[in-house]
């Protein structure tokens, strides 16, 4: 059927268009005139149809409205841009911590009706537990930290900052299987023409945060995504509190300072700006303590790399190390642990040969022969420490109790450049530790350390709080020979003169079991007396037999009774030796039991595997030649 005719008939039916009908009825079907007439009639229909006209009007109005809306939003956006500043902070970043800490200090939140209260103090140590109003109750007994009042999630809140109106929106992304809580984000929008107001806010937040964390170091750990997250902060430990052989601390401090200050020197020579330190030796000898003190001294944060972390493999270790910030201190504790089954130190850590590596020996089989406990391989660790992705400008500290078990490639210069050996306590160290526990009266009591103290004018108190005159009763002072010191009589409150008999100071100290005294109960000792007691104490501790941690443990029990601890140290030594013997006895017993288990066919799983492997290879050796025949 002719199409033009069909249009025409339908138009007619609608009765919409007379002209169109006339035009088309005169046209000859299949002629060009007929086609033109049809098109004309179509356009006429379109133009004169009221429904289409209304539709077109609607369309134009819609377009106009939408364009207006877009224009308005553009104007609004440019208005916002010129009058507002918007800043976003991600929780993985330090700036987030500064701002959150600053916000938690704003009085606004204490009065807000929508507030999030937590005991977690952003970036600061531990938790806080002081509820507003509790100050008086506490009576300043133990200083409590204020709870953190911060904005709630997913709600925009308003506040003023230096005359500018500001809105704060805190949001949290949806957590997934690994990231249980999701990531946090803070958006701050400030109404101001002055761009530097945001900088001022940041600076203020940073200053408030830094001021509060003065005297503290931040500790970072890596999360499931190998991102560094702040785990908390610890008070700085004075370097003087770590007692080591003479010159060791000074040397390592000078070395680290020299490294941090010489970036250009390294760059000029094309040497990677990295330095590694390996602290090795007996447990409890001060390795971790020294690292902690150094970080405080150098004002560096500590980033703990745990090789025994679940799911850690070479690539995640690499990623973690490459994300270390410059000017940081990375710490790998027990660097040997990842290469042994489990992370236990001694007996449980067996390598494939079933041998426990000897702490002292340097001839142990290398790590390659050992089953890794984590997914990290030795080559992965080596690559992470000094590969191309490894961060520059960082100090790496590693500790181990099994120096001999470490692979030479791991401890070579360039990876771990400086090796420091830590030993059990020597006499000098023990005496120094004693002095740290019982500082003389002129330290920290308004008199400077270097000030001469005339002992003749100083009355000291012994453990029982009674005063004794230093000159009249305590005999000679500084620089005296140990024997003289030990044999000098010491006055007791009960009046008997204490002299050394059988290596012990005699005093009725046995009445003490634990020390619950506070610092204010420490007897006031003069410098001379402290030295005297320190010598007496160290003389009773066998050289190189006990760790500093053990000696510290003893001193802790007597932290307000310097005389009593001297009295008791002999017993303590005997007791410790007895315990050690018992321990050794039980270890031997366990070994014997293991041995008899093997005899009784109760072979441990490892052993079974090994035995089966051996049997299989024996079978192969026997049957293969037979098969050939
Ligand atoms: N040389 C030391 N000077 C002062 N205190 C020490 C010293 N050695 C150990 N201590 C004390 O003993 C405790 C344990 O010390 P630290 O953790 O530093 O030992 P470590 O050598 O790292 O032990 P491990 O090898 O078991 O990790 C700490 O509380 C620390 O104060």
Contact criterion met (CB below 8 Å) for 168 and 103: yes
Assess whether the C-beta atom of 192 lies below 6 angstroms from ligand 1.
no
Contact criterion met (CB below 8 Å) for 424 and 550: no
For residue 628, is pLDDT > 50? no
How many angstroms separate the alpha carbon of residue 427 from the centre of ligand 1? 16
> How buried is residue 16: exposed, middle or buried, by Cβ count under 10 Å (0-12/13-18/19+)?
middle
- What CA–CA distance (Å, rounded) separates 609 from 44? 95
% of the chain at pLDDT higher than 70 = 64
> Is beta strand 328-332 parallel, antiparallel or unpaired with respect to 394-400?
parallel
Among 93-107, 339-353, 430-444, which is the least confidently predicted range?
Answer: 339-353
Overall fold of domain 231-422? Rossmann fold (3.40.50)
Among 162-176, 228-242, 500-514, 564-578, which is the least confidently predicted range?
Answer: 500-514
Nearest to 443 by CA among 451, 431, 455: 451
pLDDT average, residue stretch 428-456: 66
At a CB cut-off of 8 Å and minimum separation 6, what does 125 contact? 216, 232, 233, 234, 235
How many angstroms separate the alpha carbon of residue 559 from the centre of ligand 1? 18
Contact criterion met (CB below 8 Å) for 415 and 276: yes
Among 149-163, 184-198, 381-395, 440-454, which is the least confidently predicted range?
Answer: 440-454
Ligand 1 pocket: which of 237, 279, 552, 553 to mutate (most atoms <8 Å of CB)? 552
Tell me the range of 153-157, 414-418, 452-456 where mean pLDDT is highest: 414-418
Residue 423 has which token pair?
């030993």
How many angstroms separate the alpha carbon of residue 164 from the centre of ligand 1? 51
pTM over 0.90: no
pLDDT average, residue stretch 240-266: 92
Assess whether the C-beta atom of 424 lies below 6 angstroms from ligand 1.
no
Which atom of ligand 1 is found nearest the CA of 243?
A: 3
How many angstroms separate the alpha carbon of residue 113 from the centre of ligand 1? 48
Q: Residue 286 CB: number of other CB atoms within 10 A?
A: 27
Among 117-121, 138-142, 160-164, which is the least confidently predicted range?
Answer: 138-142
Q: Tokens 């500064």 identify what position?
A: 98
Which is it for the CA torsion 241, 246, 249, 254, positive or negative?
positive
Contact criterion met (CB below 8 Å) for 250 and 296: no
- What CA–CA distance (Å, rounded) separates 414 from 177? 39
Higher-confidence residue: 50 or 616?
50
Query: Each residue of 357-396: pLDDT tens digit?
Result: 333 333 333 434 344 456 788 888 888 888 766 778 889 9
Assess whether the C-beta atom of 401 lies below 6 angstroms from ligand 1.
yes
Q: Residue 377 CB: number of other CB atoms within 10 A?
A: 17
> How buried is residue 187: exposed, middle or buried, by Cβ count under 10 Å (0-12/13-18/19+)?
middle
- What CA–CA distance (Å, rounded) separates 568 from 511? 11
Query: What pairs with residue 235 in β-bridges?
Result: 216
For atom 12 of ligand 1, which residue has the closest CA?
549
How many angstroms separate the alpha carbon of residue 288 from the centre of ligand 1? 6
- Hey, what long-range contacts does 469-474 have (CB within 8 A, 24 or more apart)? 470/526, 470/528, 470/529, 474/528, 474/529, 474/532
pLDDT band, residue 223 (cuts 50/70/90): confident
| Terminal CA-CA length for the chain | 96
Q: Mean pLDDT across the chain, nearest whole number? A: 73
Assess whether the C-beta atom of 436 lies below 6 angstroms from ligand 1.
no
| Domain definitions of the chain by residue range | 3-48, 83-214, 231-422, 427-577
């Amino acid at each position: 059927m002719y199409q033009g005719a069909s249009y025409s008939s339908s138009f007619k039916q609608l009765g919409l268009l007379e002209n169109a009908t006339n035009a088309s009825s005169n046209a000859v079907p299949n002629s060009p005139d007929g086609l033109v007439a049809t098109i004309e009639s179509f356009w006429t229909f379109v133009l004169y149809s009221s429904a289409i006209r209304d539709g077109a009007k609607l369309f134009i109005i819609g377009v106009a409205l939408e364009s207006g809306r877009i224009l308005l939003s553009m104007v609004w956006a440019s208005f916002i841009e010129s009058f507002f500043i918007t800043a976003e902070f991600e929780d993985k970043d330090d700036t987030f911590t500064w701002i959150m800490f600053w916000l938690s200090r704003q009085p606004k939140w204490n009065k807000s009706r929508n507030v999030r209260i937590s005991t977690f103090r952003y970036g600061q140590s531990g938790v806080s537990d002081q509820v507003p109003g509790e100050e008086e109750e506490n009576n300043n007994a133990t200083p409590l930290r204020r709870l953190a009042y911060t904005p709630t999630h997913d709600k925009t809140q308003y506040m003023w900052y230096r005359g500018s109106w500001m809105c704060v929106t805190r949001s949290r992304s949806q957590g997934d299987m690994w990231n249980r809580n999701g990531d946090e984000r803070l958006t701050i929008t400030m109404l101001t023409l002055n761009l530097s107001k945001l900088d001022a806010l940041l600076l203020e937040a940073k200053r408030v945060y830094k001021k509060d964390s003065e005297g503290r170091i931040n500790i970072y750990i890596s999360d499931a995504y190998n991102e560094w997250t702040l785990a908390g902060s610890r008070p700085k430990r004075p370097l003087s509190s770590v007692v080591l052989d003479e010159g060791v601390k000074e040397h390592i401090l000078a070395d680290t300072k020299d490294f941090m200050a010489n970036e250009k020197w390294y760059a000029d020579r094309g040497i990677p700006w990295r330095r590694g330190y390996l602290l090795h030796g007996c447990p409890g000898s001060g390795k971790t303590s020294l690292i902690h003190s150094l970080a405080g001294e150098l004002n560096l944060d500590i980033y703990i790399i745990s090789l025994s972390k679940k799911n850690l493999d070479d690539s995640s270790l690499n990623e973690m190390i490459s994300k270390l910030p410059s000017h940081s201190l990375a710490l790998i504790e027990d660097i040997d642990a990842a290469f042994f089954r489990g992370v236990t130190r001694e007996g449980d850590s067996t390598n494939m040969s079933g041998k426990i590596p000897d702490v002292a020996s340097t001839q142990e089989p290398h790590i390659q022969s050992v089953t890794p406990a984590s997914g990290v391989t030795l080559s992965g660790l080596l690559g992470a420490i000094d590969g191309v992705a490894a961060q520059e400008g960082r100090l790496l500290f590693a500790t181990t109790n099994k120096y001999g078990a470490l692979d030479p490639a791991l401890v070579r210069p360039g990876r771990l450049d400086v090796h420091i050996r830590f030993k059990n306590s020597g006499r000098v160290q023990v005496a120094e530790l004693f002095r740290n526990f019982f500082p003389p009266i002129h330290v920290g009591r308004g008199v400077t350390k270097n000030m001469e103290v005339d002992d003749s004018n100083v009355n000291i108190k012994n453990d029982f709080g009674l005063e004794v005159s230093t000159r009249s009763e305590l005999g000679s002072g500084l620089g005296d020979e140990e024997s003289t010191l030990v044999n000098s009589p010491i006055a007791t409150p009960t009046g008997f003169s204490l002299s050394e008999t059988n290596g012990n100071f005699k005093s009725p100290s046995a009445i003490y079991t634990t020390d619950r005294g506070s610092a204010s109960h420490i007897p006031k000792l003069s410098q001379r007396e402290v030295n005297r007691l320190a010598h007496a104490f160290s003389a009773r501790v066998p050289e190189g037999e006990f760790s500093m941690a053990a000696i510290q443990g003893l001193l802790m029990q007597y932290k307000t009774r310097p005389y009593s601890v001297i009295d008791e140290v002999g017993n303590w030594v005997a007791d410790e030796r007895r315990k050690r013997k018992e321990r050794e006895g039980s270890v031997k017993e366990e070994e014997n039991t293991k041995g008899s288990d093997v005899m009784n066919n109760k072979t441990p799983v490892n052993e079974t595997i090994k035995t089966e492997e051996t049997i299989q290879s024996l079978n192969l050796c026997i049957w293969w030649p037979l098969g050939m025949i």
